[in-house]
Structure 1
């Protein structure tokens, strides 16, 4: 198989969402948490920080940083506030039509 024959990850996910209602529910349920995870990982990598060092900077525990980066459970507003205060990251939360979305700004 050629590299050019491979589907993009977005296509694979969309195919799976269409074919598997349980996957779609879980994917949609964790969207908010994944957005936070991406922002935290990008920040940490961009500032050459370990999880432990980011924990020190934010006042969170290292396991809490690991859970944020895993992206399976949405963090609370207090956790997001601590992240923004310590890192300068900004988030916009959009809650509408029964779902919560997050936009890093």
Structure 2
């Protein structure tokens, strides 16, 4: 019999550590924000370069953001929201409702 664990088992074991859970949560937030910006940009038919110009950024910064590679500041999110014709909304929700 093998002592090998499944990927899900290893993941759950790793996430039992508070530092790992915090890193996982930060990565999830970066990914979700990047996906939301990419989807809205594509909805508007904008390129990354066009969004970058409108937000006062460089195209590689938009690419990194959309890929979840950077944790943005609130001022950056406000600039992106404005460039995408949106209003930034920040809030809290109970953990039992969070997905």
TM-score range normalised by the length of the shorter chain: 0.5 to 0.7
Picking from 63, 67, 74, the partner of 1:66 is: 63
- Which residue, 72, 76, 80 being the options, matches 1:75? 72
Q: Structure 1 residues 20-29 or 38-47, which shifts more?
A: 20-29
- Aligned partner of 2:36 in structure 1 is 39
Which residue, out of 8, 14, 31, partners 1:20? 14
CA contact (8 A) 1:18 1:24 kept: no
Q: Which runs of 5+ in 2 are unaligned?
A: 1-6, 94-99
1:63-105 deviations in Å (ceiling 9; x for gaps): 1101111113210111111112221233333468xxxxxxxxx
Whichever of the two has the greater Rg, that structure is: 2
Instruction: State the number of aligned residues.
Output: 85
Give the superposition deviation at 1:42.
0.2
Q: Aligned-residue CA RMSD in angstroms?
A: 2.8
Give the match's secondary structure for 1:71.
Answer: coil
Long gaps (5+) in structure 1: 1-12, 97-105
More strand by share: 1
TM-score w.r.t. length of structure 2: 0.65
